[in-house]
Amino acid sequence: MTPDSQASMADPRRLVVEDLRVVVKRTGHDIVDEVSFTIGPGEVFGLVGETGSGKTTVALALAGHARRGLSIAGGRVLLDDRDVLKLSASELRHVRGRQIAYVPQDPSSALDPARRVGVQLAEALRVHGDKREGAASRLREVLAEVRLDSTRELLRCYPHQLSGGQQQRVTLAMAFACRPVLIVLDEPTTGLDVTTQRHVLETMRTLCRSYGVAAVYVSHDLAVVAELVSSVAVMYAGRIVEFGGVQDVFFSPAHPYSRRLLRAVPLTGRAEALQGIEGSPPRPGRRPPGCSFAPRCPLVLPACNEEPPPAVELADGRRVRCLRAGEAELPAPSVEALVQQDSGTGEISALRVEGLVAAYGSTEVLHSVDLVVPPRRCVALVGESGSGKTTLARCVVGLHANCSGQLHFGDERLPMGYRRRTEQAQRGIQFVFQNPYTSLNPRRTVGQIIARPLEHFGEWSRSEREARVVGALEDAALSSEFLNRYPDQLSGGERQRVAIARALVVEPVLLICDEVTAALDVSVQAAIVELLRRLQAERGLAVLFITHNLALVRSIAQDVVVLANGVVVETGSVEKVLERPSDAYTIQLLEDVPKLGSATSRAHRAGPQPVSVTQASPRRVPDAER
C-alpha cells in the first residue's frame, strides 16, 4: 500500500480498502472499481468527486452496504484486520453503529421527526453502548462533545425544532456516541451555511483526533476538504484518479481532472473567470475503453483512448491514473482575469428597493431593506440561510405579497403581487430559480419550456419564435439538439442552462438569480457562473445575484450587499467588501468561508500555476447604494 506521509500513530492502518468493486446487479456494469486506500487512526480522509463519481457508493460499501440494485462484487474492506464484506448479517449489525458509524447528508431526514431528540440519542446509546448504567451522564458527555448543552429543553425537542446545524450535531453525537473506530461522513455539511459548517467541521476534527477515530469525509467541495483532511482521493467515473497527501494534491495536482476541479473552486481571494469542466462524466456501462476522463481532458493524447491508464506512483507517494502524470510541466490552464466594468452612474437604476419589510404571518423576516441594482451591473446579495435573501427575491418578482415598502423597476413603481404588474415589468424582470430540478415542467420539452414566455408575450411569429428559442439555447451554450428533450434527460447543469435560456429569451433588463448554483456541483457551478458573467457583460444586463457563498461573489459581481437577519449590514464594491470589510458580521462571514487553505495559498506562491492577479479597474467604483 501507499506509504502515507500523514499517518504517524502506532498502528498506521485502521482501515484498509483494497480493489473495492461495486456493480449493478442486473447488467454487471461497474459503478465503482479498483478503489484502494488506507486510513490511520485519528486521520480524516477525503473522498472528492462530482455527482455520479461513485463516492457515496464507496462510502456505503465501507459499512458493508450496497444500495438497491447494486452489489459489492469484489475487494476487501479491512477494519482493524477484519473484512467487513465477509461478515454475516448479524455480525454486520453488530459492527455498524458500534464500530462503523455513518453520518448522512441530510440530518433532517436522518432523524425520526416523530420522536424527541433525547429519546433518539438514548436509543443509540442503549442499542450499541454499555447497557443502561450511567446512561444519563453518557448522554450529557456525548452532547458536550458536539458542543450542545444537554438541557431538558434540548432533549425534549423534536428534530424540526432544531436548526440545521444543531440537527447535524445531534447526528454527529449519535455517530460518536459508541466510540466507533471508523466514521463515514457523507457530505454532512452541504445544507449548512458557512459559519455552522465551520463549527461542525471543527467539532468533528477534534473528536477524530482525541479518540483516534478514522474518518472518511465524502464531499464535492474541495475547499471544505482542504481544510479538514490529511489525505485525499479524487474520484472520477468510479475510480480513484489521484490519491495522496492533501498538500500534494492541492499544491500540484497531477491528474488533469484534479487540476480542472481545483480551477472550478471559487475563492474570495481571486478574481478570475471560473472554469467549469465541459461535458459530463460517463455513466456506468457507457465508459470509453480508455481513460474515462479522456473525452473531457484538455491534455488528451491518442494513447489515452486505447486502454485505461494504470495507477502511477509519483515520487511523493501519490498514485495517479494518468499517462501524463509523470510529466513535470503540464501546460497550465489559461486564466482569464476579470476586468471590472464601468458603472452606470447617473442613469436611473434598474431596480430600487426602499424600506422593504416582509413577513411570514406575523414574523418579520426583512426589516426595512434598501437595495439598488444599477443598470448593466451585477449586484451580489450575500447572506446565510435564514437571512431573508430568498424572501427579498420573491418580493421583487411578486411571489411574496406579504410585504410593504417600495419597489421601483426603472422609473416604474412595482406593485407587490405579480398579478397587478404591467406586462413591461413582467417581461423586463426575469427570475432564475434555485433548484433546476423543480423549475422546469417535467411534461414539457426544452423547446416548449423556452418558447413559453415568447408565446405569452406574443409579439412574434411562429418562425421568429423558433429562431429565438434556438438562439437562446445557443446563448446558454446548449445546441439545438436539446429542443426535443425533456428535463429528466438533462443533467443539473443543463437544466439550469435551460432555465437561464428561458429567462433571457424575452430580453429582460433585470435578471434575478436566486442561489442558482446551490444545487449544483462545484465544476458545474463554475460553468454556470461563467455563463452568467459572460451574458451579463455581453448584454449589459442588470443582475441581482443571490448567494450564500461569498467566494462566488468575486467571480461574477461588481457590488455586494450583505444581508444578516433581514437587515443590510454592509454594501459596497466587491473589492471593498471582500478586502476591507467594515462590518463585524461580514468579517466573520469571510473568515468562515472555507478556503483551499494553506495548501493552495502556498501553491500559488511557489507552484507552477500563475498567481492570480486582481485586475480591478484602477478607479474606485462607487458603492451600490449611491
Residues lying near other proteins in the complex (CB under 8 A) are found at 24, 26-27, 29, 31, 51-54, 56-57, 67-70, 238, 280, 282-286, 397-399, 418-419, 421, 423, 426-427, 429-431, 433-435, 437-445, 452-453, 456-457, 481, 484-489, 491-492, 499, 502, 506, 519
Comparing CB distances to other proteins, the nearer of 383 and 493 is 493
Comparing CB distances to other proteins, the nearer of 419 and 605 is 419
For the CB of residue 487, give the shortest distance to other proteins in the complex, in Å: 8
DSSP of 526-542, one letter per residue? HHHHHHHHHHHHHHT-E
For the CB of residue 83, give the shortest distance to other proteins in the complex, in Å: 24
Instruction: Please report, in angstroms and rounded to a whole number, the separation of the first and last CA atoms in the chain.
Output: 61
Comparing CB distances to other proteins, the nearer of 377 and 394 is 394
Comparing CB distances to other proteins, the nearer of 79 and 504 is 504
Contact (Cβ atoms closer than 8 angstroms) between residue 283 and residue 538: no
Contact (Cβ atoms closer than 8 angstroms) between residue 600 and residue 579: no
Closest CA to 181 of 88, 71, 77, 104: 77
CA distance 589 to 609: 28
CA distance 604 to 54: 30
DSSP 184: E
Comparing CB distances to other proteins, the nearer of 285 and 289 is 285
In sequence order, the 6+-apart residues with CB closer than 8 A to the CB of 129 are 98, 138, 177, 178
Comparing CB distances to other proteins, the nearer of 501 and 590 is 501
Comparing CB distances to other proteins, the nearer of 158 and 486 is 486
Comparing CB distances to other proteins, the nearer of 460 and 486 is 486
For the CB of residue 326, give the shortest distance to other proteins in the complex, in Å: 30
For the CB of residue 31, give the shortest distance to other proteins in the complex, in Å: 5
For the CB of residue 102, give the shortest distance to other proteins in the complex, in Å: 15
Contact (Cβ atoms closer than 8 angstroms) between residue 544 and residue 419: no
For the CB of residue 452, give the shortest distance to other proteins in the complex, in Å: 7
Closest CA to 143 of 171, 116, 164: 171
Contact (Cβ atoms closer than 8 angstroms) between residue 512 and residue 544: yes
Could you give the angle at the alpha carbon of 159 between the alpha carbons of 155 and 162, nearest 5°? 80
CB atoms under 10 Å from CB of 78, counted, come to 17
One-letter amino acid of 594: P
Contact (Cβ atoms closer than 8 angstroms) between residue 485 and residue 446: yes
Comparing CB distances to other proteins, the nearer of 242 and 494 is 494
DSSP of 69-138, one letter per residue? TEEEEEEEEEETTEEGGG--HHHHHHHHHHTEEEE-S-HHHHS-TTS-HHHHHHHHHHHHSS-STTHHHH
For the CB of residue 453, give the shortest distance to other proteins in the complex, in Å: 5
The three cell numbers locating residue 208: 477524530
Could you give the angle at the alpha carbon of 293 between the alpha carbons of 287 and 296, nearest 5°? 110
Closest CA to 160 of 104, 106, 108: 108
Comparing CB distances to other proteins, the nearer of 528 and 568 is 528
For the CB of residue 442, give the shortest distance to other proteins in the complex, in Å: 5
Could you give the angle at the alpha carbon of 207 between the alpha carbons of 206 and 210, nearest 5°? 85
Please report, for residues 50, 169, 178, 217, 591, the alpha-carbon distance to residue 43 in angstroms, rounded to integers and kept in the order given: 23, 20, 18, 10, 25
One-letter amino acid of 267: L
For the CB of residue 86, give the shortest distance to other proteins in the complex, in Å: 23
CA distance 382 to 71: 43
For the CB of residue 191, give the shortest distance to other proteins in the complex, in Å: 11
The three cell numbers locating residue 160: 424540526
For the CB of residue 449, give the shortest distance to other proteins in the complex, in Å: 8
Comparing CB distances to other proteins, the nearer of 31 and 382 is 31
Comparing CB distances to other proteins, the nearer of 198 and 502 is 502
Closest CA to 512 of 621, 423, 398: 398
C-alpha 289: how far from chain center: 30
For the CB of residue 105, give the shortest distance to other proteins in the complex, in Å: 10
Comparing CB distances to other proteins, the nearer of 29 and 179 is 29
For the CB of residue 530, give the shortest distance to other proteins in the complex, in Å: 21
